[in-house]
C-alpha cells in the first residue's frame, strides 16, 4: 500500500498542521510505503518571496523529521524535485472539465478571503491530482475539508482511463477530522492566513504569550464555565490524557477557576508535549548536511516511481 500526502511551506508550522497532517502522516508510515512531499509548487499561489519559500521548505523538512518522520520508512522530498508532476498536471488539464474546477470549494473560499484569482489557484486541484496519481497512490490522508480534492482526482483519473485506456488506479481518501477540531487563539480554525496560530517550535516566551491571548468570554472566576465552547479546553484535549481531560472538564463546570489558570495549564501541557521533539530538532540542526541528504534520497525514490508512471501516460496519450 502506498500512502501520499503533502504540506505547503507557506509559513511556520503550527499545532493545527501537526494534528491535521503531520501526526496522521507519521502514524501511517508504519502501514505501508509512504511518500510525503513539501508542496512548493502549490505554495507559489500565495508566496512570492523566493528566499522565504526556500527557507520555509527547509524548515518544514526539519520540523517534520523532528516530529517523528522516519526517512528509512517514508520518502520526504520537495514537490519541485519531481518534474514529472507538472508534466502530468498539463496532460490532466487537457481533459479536466471547467465546470468541475469551478465547483471546487477551496478556490472559492480563497478568493473570498482576498487571494488573487490566478489560473494557478483555479487549477490547483489538477496539480493536486497529478501529485497523487504520479505515485500510484492507494491512500491519501486528508481532513474532511480536503475530501473534495480527492474526489476531483478520482474524477480526472476515471476520465483519463475512459479516454486513453486503463492508466491510473483510483486513490482512496483516509478521512480524519482533526483539521476541523484545532481552533486558533481566536476560536476560528487554526490557519496561518488568519494569524491565529500557535507554532510547534516557537520559543517559550512566544508560545506562552500566544496561549495567554486565547479569546474567552467574560465569565467571572467563580462562575461555572462550558468546556464544550472553550478553545482552551478543546486545545488541552488534544494533548492531555483522558484522566486529565476529565479533571479540567469538572473544574470548568464547577467554577472557582479563572480562564487565566486554565491557560497556564494548557501552556504547561503544550510545552511538555513538544519537549522531545525540540531536542530532536536541535540534533538535526547540528548536522548541516542531514536534511539535504534526506530530501535528496526521498526525491530519488519519488522520481523512480514517477518516471515509470509518466512513461505509461506518454505512451497512452501518444507522446
The verdict on whether 110 is a catalytic residue reads yes
Q: Assess contact for 232 and 253: CB atoms under 8 A.
A: no
* CA 131 – CA 88 distance, rounded (Å): 9
For 20, which DSSP code? I
The verdict on whether 192 is a catalytic residue reads yes
* CA 19 – CA 119 distance, rounded (Å): 30
* CA 136 – CA 129 distance, rounded (Å): 11
**Which of the residues 48, 144, 159, 192 is marked catalytic?**
192
**Which of the residues 110, 225, 263, 269 is marked catalytic?**
110
Q: Assess contact for 316 and 161: CB atoms under 8 A.
A: no
Q: Assess contact for 196 and 226: CB atoms under 8 A.
A: no
* CA 140 – CA 205 distance, rounded (Å): 36
Q: Compute the CA torsion angle 36, 150, 19, 291 (nearest 10 deg).
A: 10
**Which of the residues 189, 225, 263, 269 is marked catalytic?**
189
Residue with cell 498539463: 90
Active site amino acids: 110, 189, 192
Amino acid at each position: 500500500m502506498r500512502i501520499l500526502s503533502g504540506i505547503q511551506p507557506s509559513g511556520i508550522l503550527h499545532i493545527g498542521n501537526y494534528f491535521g497532517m503531520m501526526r496522521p502522516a507519521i502514524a501511517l508510515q508504519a502501514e505501508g510505503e509512504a511518500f510525503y512531499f513539501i508542496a512548493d509548487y502549490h505554495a507559489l499561489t500565495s508566496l512570492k518571496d523566493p528566499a522565504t519559500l526556500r527557507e520555509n521548505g527547509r524548515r518544514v523538512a526539519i520540523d517534520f523529521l523532528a516530529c517523528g518522520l522516519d526517512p528509512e520508512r517514508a520518502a520526504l522530498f520537495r514537490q519541485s524535485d519531481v518534474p514529472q508532476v507538472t508534466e502530468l498536471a498539463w496532460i490532466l488539464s487537457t481533459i479536466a472539465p471547467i465546470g468541475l474546477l469551478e465547483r471546487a470549494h477551496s478556490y472559492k473560499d480563497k478568493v473570498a478571503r482576498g487571494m488573487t484569482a490566478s489560473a494557478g489557484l483555479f487549477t490547483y486541484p489538477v496539480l493536486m491530482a497529478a501529485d497523487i496519481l504520479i505515485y500510484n497512490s492507494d491512500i491519501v490522508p486528508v481532513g474532511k475539508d480536503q475530501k473534495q480534492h480527492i474526489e476531483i482526482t478520482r474524477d480526472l483519473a476515471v476520465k483519463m482511463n475512459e479516454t486513453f485506456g486503463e492508466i491510473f488506479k483510483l486513490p482512496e481518501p483516509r478521512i480524519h477530522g482533526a483539521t476541523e477540531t484545532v481552533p486558533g487563539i481566536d476560536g476560528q480554525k487554526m490557519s496561518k492566513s488568519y494569524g491565529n496560530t500557535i507554532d510547534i517550535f516557537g520559543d517559550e516566551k512566544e508560545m506562552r504569550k500566544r496561549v495567554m491571548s486565547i479569546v474567552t468570554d467574560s465569565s467571572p472566576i467563580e462562575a461555572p464555565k462550558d468546556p464544550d465552547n472553550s478553545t482552551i479546553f478543546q486545545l488541552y484535549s488534544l494533548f492531555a490524557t483522558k484522566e486529565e481531560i476529565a479533571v479540567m472538564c469538572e473544574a470548568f463546570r464547577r467554577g472557582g477557576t479563572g480562564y487565566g489558570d486554565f491557560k497556564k495549564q494548557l501552556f504547561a501541557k503544550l510545552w511538555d508535549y513538544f519537549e522531545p521533539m525540540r531536542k530532536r530538532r536541535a540534533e538535526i540542526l547540528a548536522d548541516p548536511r542531514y536534511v539535504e541528504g534526506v530530501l535528496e534520497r526521498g526525491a530519488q525514490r519519488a522520481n523512480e516511481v514517477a518516471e515509470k508512471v509518466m512513461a505509461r501516460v506518454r505512451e497512452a496519450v501518444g507522446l
